[in-house]
Structure 1
């Protein structure tokens, strides 16, 4: 496991008018690891992801992604990250393959293996099917394929297994592990399925009321034989609300 940092924030704050959504957040994601970002709805997870991908500008603080300042070198960073934030939007009348090709053109990527990307997410047999005919789970798979088709160094995924059935969740779990172990990709993801986080994350961060209140490796937490991630998460959130 690398000790180099793929993501580092320090004193990160984000306000919308008088509403302070993120407060002095410090987050560290090491390269070649899977980081599970946990928090209840409205805690600030999606705002954090949008700042890391350059969709929002921080109010205060430092934000480095892949060793570069996201507020200054956004274009350079975006070439090397793939993201899935909020509900994925596609060109409904076009096929899965055509949607990937449009994304690659937008990214300025001339050579990429769309067939492999579709195969990795289990959509190889429906690549020519219009997205309008896709189920919620198929859309999630396509969004993951779109995030990784250009072979990024970093994936930032907001609820990537939402809408997937148990088989799909396991398949994506195996895919994420493979992307890290075989391709050296770093993954930062959020999920409300805590058992899934426990299955694949190397490290977790918990955000409550806009503050990252805890960062720990799963290895450290599991030293306690009675450790339960759900109970731990709820106790930390309740503590942060006091």
Structure 2
């Protein structure tokens, strides 16, 4: 469904990605893990088109995502929902307005249809009663669930999550992971940048471990956590699970 073909990306003097290749099939839940600065978020942003690699190409359903073909590129990006670390809700809009804005302006849906779809997904994430609240009245976990509902309103084929729980208090992480787990169980293709090793192990079908802008290991989740192959992955896991 997604093919990343030898992409590289740098920022000023930092090589964020170096000759990265990756393929993701429909229905897979791929966890991108690794130390801070390893290139996980940059890879996710390149896949979505928020960043453009300097070399290499990204394909969606065997079609090159060419930024110079603006109309096609926009249509390809619309097939992917993106959930940010810090929610990115509009503070001057209510929950329902946050969830209908893109539907009306991008998909040209009517106000009535947009609100109907928004309420379906707000109900799904357990926040229907918050439809008329502003983001500053919500907890961090509730904001992230609204962000997930907003992304789902556009009916994406793929969901991309960039450290969706890292800005949350520990008590709020579970409610967000439960929503993500439900999506996985329904067969949604997902790419998740995460530090939640329990989620990566139990819910994810694959782990892609990055370090210094390169993919060090790419393996089924159980295999990665039980029998990591590289010394770098072994060292990382020993620190993550150190008690």
Q: Report TM bin, short chain.
A: 0.7 to 0.9
Shift of 1:71: 2.4
Counterpart of 1:3? none
Cα deviations across residues 28-60 of structure 1 (Å, max 9, x unaligned)?
211111111102211111111111111111111
SS in 2 for 1:42: coil
Aligned residue pair count: 226
SS in 2 for 1:47: helix
Alignment counterpart, residue 114 of structure 1, candidates 99, 114, 118? 118
Whether the 8 Å contact between 1:208 and 1:237 is mirrored in structure 2 is no
Alignment counterpart, residue 179 of structure 2, candidates 165, 175, 180? 175
Instruction: Compute the RMSD of aligned alpha carbons.
Output: 2.5
SS in 1 for 2:192: strand
Alpha-carbon distance change, 152 to 58 in structure 1, aligned in 2, over 3 angstroms: same
Distance in 2, matches of 1:107 and 1:93, equals 19
Give structure 1 stretches of 5+ with no counterpart. Answer: 1-5
Distance in 1, matches of 2:201 and 2:213, equals 23
Counterpart of 2:202? 199
More divergent stretch after superposition (171-180 vs 67-76)? 171-180
Alpha-carbon distance change, 164 to 141 in structure 1, aligned in 2, over 3 angstroms: farther
Alignment counterpart, residue 53 of structure 2, candidates 46, 50, 58? 58
- Alignment of 1:208 with 2:203, yes or no, is no
Give structure 2 stretches of 5+ with no counterpart. Answer: 239-243
Q: How does 1:133-172 map to 2 (within 5 A)?
A: 133-162=137-166, 163=168, 165-166=170-171, 169-172=173-176
Shift of 1:7: 1.6
- Alignment of 1:235 with 2:230, yes or no, is no
Counterpart of 2:86? 87
Distance in 1, matches of 2:234 and 2:223, equals 18
Distance in 1, matches of 2:7 and 2:38, equals 14
Shift of 1:236: 5.5
